[in-house]
Copies of this chain bind each other. A is one copy, B any other.
Amino acid sequence: MADLSVNVCGIDFKNPIIPASGVFGYGREYEELFPLNKLGGIATKGTTLHLRTGNLAPRIAETPAGMLNSVGLQNPGIDHFISTELPYLLTKDLVVLANIAGSTPDECAEVAAKLDDTDVHMIELNISCPNVKQGGAAFGTSCDMAGEVTRKVRQATKKPLVVKLSPNVTSIVDIAKSVEAAGADAVSLINTLLGMRIDINTRRPILRNNVGGMSGPAVFPIAVRMVWQVANAVDIPVIGMGGVSSGRDAIELMMAGASAVQVGAAIFTDPYAPVKIVEEMNEFLDSKGITSVKDIIGTVAPW
């Protein structure tokens, strides 16, 4: 049994596996299947200042080895999260990353400020949601905006601040550097890639929002590349995600430079995916005689 624990900006995780924001709600639904304490952490559904109803349906489309979603940040608002969901999650013996978003930098800061008074472990600031009109990807695709929103949120909270980056950019390294300079304690990547599917019988986009965010195994090579580039360019830790569906994938992303790994769409294919991934990682490490998963982080040897 290898030591699977990791530490990301001062927070201890019993293992590196975290269900990604948006696929796991606030944990209650999957708790019917397994105890949440099997997980290293949970990234909660993107939460905003006020309740949001999200986009019209259809919000989901399938793609080769992946999917599109255009949920559009439906959520009950941060007050509900703090009063009802967070206290429950905090009893579950796993790290809680509160994923937050907002239409303006000030709104993001206000949400973060509310969390600052709670016992939440980390804040994951989503500056990369492709499914909302304001904020979202607009923040994540400009270095200036990314820096500004990070700075404002930084000022609003002393919690470890993870900024979640968009892959829909020319240089994710530049964005990562700019949020690092603005005070982020870590970055997480990748959010979804903007995609589209059309029903050729009706000639309508399958998603009511026309376009949506692509995730799942299809995007894994892009995640590996971006994690590798960013981990080599910044001094803060990187939380990796994008298409991870097996222990081997998680190991690969950690070798590329991730200190912890989030799992999204794979959970829809197999709800036990995060738990199995933990087991598979352990098997791999044992088979190689590696005693601690920390020893593989960033160990890829480029040619």
A5 at the interface (CB under 8 A from B): no
What residues of B have a CB within 8 angstroms of the CB of A217 in the complex?
A: 64-65, 218
1/0 per residue, CB under 8 A from B, across A146-187: the answer is 000000000000000000000011100000000000000000
Which of B65, B198, B224, B255 meets A203, CB within 8 Å?
B255
In Å, the complex CA distance between A168 and B171 comes to 8
On whether A301 and B221 interact (CB within 8 A), knowing A64-B65, A198-B256, A243-B64, the answer reads: no
On whether A197 and B301 interact (CB within 8 A), knowing A65-B218, A68-B221, A170-B169, the answer reads: no
> When the two chains form their complex, are residues B214 and A197 in contact, meaning their CB atoms are under 8 A apart?
no
* Interface residue stretch chosen among A27-35, A80-88, A188-196: A188-196
What residues of B have a CB within 8 angstroms of the CB of A224 in the complex?
A: 195-198
Nearest CB in chain B: distance from A170 CB, A: 5
A300 at the interface (CB under 8 A from B): yes
In Å, the complex CA distance between A224 and B65 comes to 16
Which of B211, B248, B303 meets A225, CB within 8 Å?
B211
> When the two chains form their complex, are residues B252 and A198 in contact, meaning their CB atoms are under 8 A apart?
yes
A210 at the interface (CB under 8 A from B): yes
> When the two chains form their complex, are residues B205 and A214 in contact, meaning their CB atoms are under 8 A apart?
no
> When the two chains form their complex, are residues B222 and A193 in contact, meaning their CB atoms are under 8 A apart?
yes
What residues of B have a CB within 8 angstroms of the CB of A301 in the complex?
A: 203-204
Q: Name A's B-contacting residues (CB within 8 A).
A: 56, 61, 63-66, 68, 141, 168-170, 193-198, 200, 203-205, 208-211, 214, 216-222, 224-225, 228, 243, 248, 251-252, 255-256, 284, 299-303
6 A-B interface contacts by CB (under 8 A): A64-B65, A64-B243, A66-B221, A169-B170, A197-B224, A200-B255
